[in-house]
Amino acid sequence: MAEDWSAKQYLKFEDERTRPPRDLLAQIPLTNPKRVVDLGCGPGNSTELLIERYPNAEVIGVDSSPDMLRQARERLPNCKFVQGDLETWLPEPGTDLLFGNAVFQWLPDHPQVLARLLTALPTGGVLAVQMPDNTHEPALQLMAKVGADGPWADAIAKSDAARNDLLTPEQFYDLLRPLCNHLDVWHTHYQHLMPNHAGVVEWFKGSSLRPFYEVLEGRTREQYLAAYADAITRTYSARYDGKVMLRFPRLFILAVR
């Protein structure tokens, strides 16, 4: 059985992880939506932004992780949170905004899921999504490269841990533009500042590295993480103060039905 996501691990870098949803939210044209849904709400950091922006709306958080939902409910006890699978989930009628922060990249068929969700919105409804587009970055490629050589190789090979590449902006445009009145697709390249090389590993232990190490146990897991940390140290140069700049491309989609 797969391990649950760890809200504690994810929130070690809450400020950095909350910057992209804040940037996405700033582009949403809605002024007074009635119902807003935070898809893949995680520990509630993005949900909190939605509540602050739309204090008169019914804001609902949806996530598949019990630990993330537990943390979200502790953080925002007056907000409604529900467990759900975004592969099949559909919004209630009258939903004005579907907001997805760093969640859809985990769904292999996310382009079709996004198209389905967009068509479920009423006229004027908004689908706003941000996804990491970093599968070609060294930190992501090293997960698979290190995973292919060592006593952990067989277990990782069977797990299919690596994420698929996202569609290009042009492909997303061709898919979604026929379904809406307005579509904006753009990239932002963040330079997340990590305290050191170990910080890079800690960052990804809360996200993309998790599917690789969760299939390992005990000493083998420790060895894999140590080998990955060594590869990160050899690949990313420390700045003058020992900190490491983690280049992190993210893709944004804003569709108005």
pLDDT confidence tier of residue 206, bands split at 50, 70 and 90: confident
132 in Cβ contact with 250 (< 8 Å) = yes
Tell me whether residue 15 is in a domain: yes
For 31-45, what is each residue's pLDDT tens digit? Answer: 999 999 999 999 899
Tell me whether residue 238 is in a domain: yes
Tell me whether residue 194 is in a domain: yes
57 in Cβ contact with 78 (< 8 Å) = no
Q: Mean pLDDT across the chain, nearest whole number?
A: 93
The position carrying tokens 């990590």 is 194
Q: Over 50: is that where the pLDDT of 11 sits?
A: no
Q: Is 227 exposed, middle or buried (0-12, 13-18, 19+ CB in 10 A)?
A: middle
Measure the CA–CA gap between 26 and 31, rounded to whole angstroms.
11
Tell me whether residue 1 is in a domain: no
Tell me whether residue 2 is in a domain: no
Q: Over 50: is that where the pLDDT of 58 sits?
A: yes
* Residue 10 confidence (pLDDT): 45
Q: Taking the model in full, what pTM does it have?
A: 0.92
Instruction: Give the range of the structural domain holding residue 214, as residue numbers without chain letter.
Output: 7-256
For 207-247, what is each residue's pLDDT tens digit? Answer: 899 999 999 999 999 999 999 999 999 999 999 999 999 99
Q: Over 60: is that where the pLDDT of 12 sits?
A: no
For 115-171, what is each residue's pLDDT tens digit? Answer: 999 999 999 999 999 999 999 999 999 999 999 999 999 999 998 888 999 999 999
Mean pLDDT, rounded, for 68-79: 94
Q: Over 60: is that where the pLDDT of 5 sits?
A: no
Looking at the structure of the chain, the number of domains it has is: 1
In this structure, what DSSP letter does residue 234 have?
Answer: H
Written as one letter, the residue type at 79 is C
Tell me whether residue 244 is in a domain: yes
Tell me whether residue 105 is in a domain: yes
CATH code of 68's domain: 3.40.50.150
* Residue 13 confidence (pLDDT): 53
Tell me whether residue 222 is in a domain: yes
